[in-house]
Amino acid sequence: MPQRPKIIVAGALGKMGKAAVETFLANSDRFELVAAVLRDLGNVSEQVKQDHEQRGVKLIDNLEAELNQGGVDILIELTTPDSVFENSKLALNSGVRPVIGATGLSDDDINELNSLSQKQGLGTIIAPNFAIGAILMMKFAAQAAKYMDRYEIIEKHHEAKVDAPSGTAIKTAKLISDNNGQNQSPQAGEISRGELHYGVPIHSLRLQGYVASQEVIFGAQGQTLTIQHDTIDRSSFMPGILLASEKIMELDRLVYGLENLI
């Protein structure tokens, strides 16, 4: 791994992006944050620009131009579903490893990024959730699915989250399906029964008061099992972002889910 990998954070003024910028600055002995990408630099106040410049972080709104200058090792992709795929392809084609926390990638998108990652010989990490507790929740749910064949997911997020179901819920459904795939929960084909992903009903709530929460509920004769994870503050995601940023320098392929790295 090169000395202090050089980092760009895309989506730098979003809630996750701001926390990531602060985290990399606080870990400047391990990483060098060189730029922060946002959509519209013209609407950013001079005070915000000065605050970042004083700490050695360029604010930019042209990711491609920055990548073309070279010298960047990792792109932290924390934007929105409408830009995450193109930004990640751009990074790989520029010789930069993407750590993708934004959701909205389809199976076809992931397959294309996987092929491009292999072609370039560069690591790519797609992390539906960076919280270590959430990763453990998904792993425990996958184990439970081997023994209990009725299950549903309820995921709850802040009202500003732009996608539903969440990437974490979809990834959990895939892990459950990979370990069982025989869900016998009755399906009436009605919207109120949840949206099916990998044969698992997912129910999405978007309300004030939540950051992120997910329950995986299993049912069996005479019993239920609930595996739940609650994110109280976005700081819970930061150790996972640092872990991904370290591990990606050792990879030459795409990894989908931090559970494959811990």
Query: What residues are labeled active site?
Result: 157, 161
Longest dimension (CA), the chain: 62
CA distance 24 to 150: 42
Please name which of 124, 139, 128 lies closest in space to residue 105, comparing C-alpha atoms.
Answer: 128
**Burial call 75-108: b when 16+ CB within 10 Å, e when fewer:** bbbbbeeebbbebbebbbebebbbbbbbbbbeee
CA distance 179 to 161: 29
Tokens of 250: 């050792």
Looking at residue 193, the DSSP 8-state letter turns out to be G
CB-based contact 257:128 (threshold 8 Å): yes
CA distance 42 to 60: 10
Which 3-state string (H, E, C) describes 81-143? Answer: CCCHHHHHHHHHHCCCEEEECCCCCCHHHHHHHHHHHHHHCCCEEECCCCCHHHHHHHHHHHH
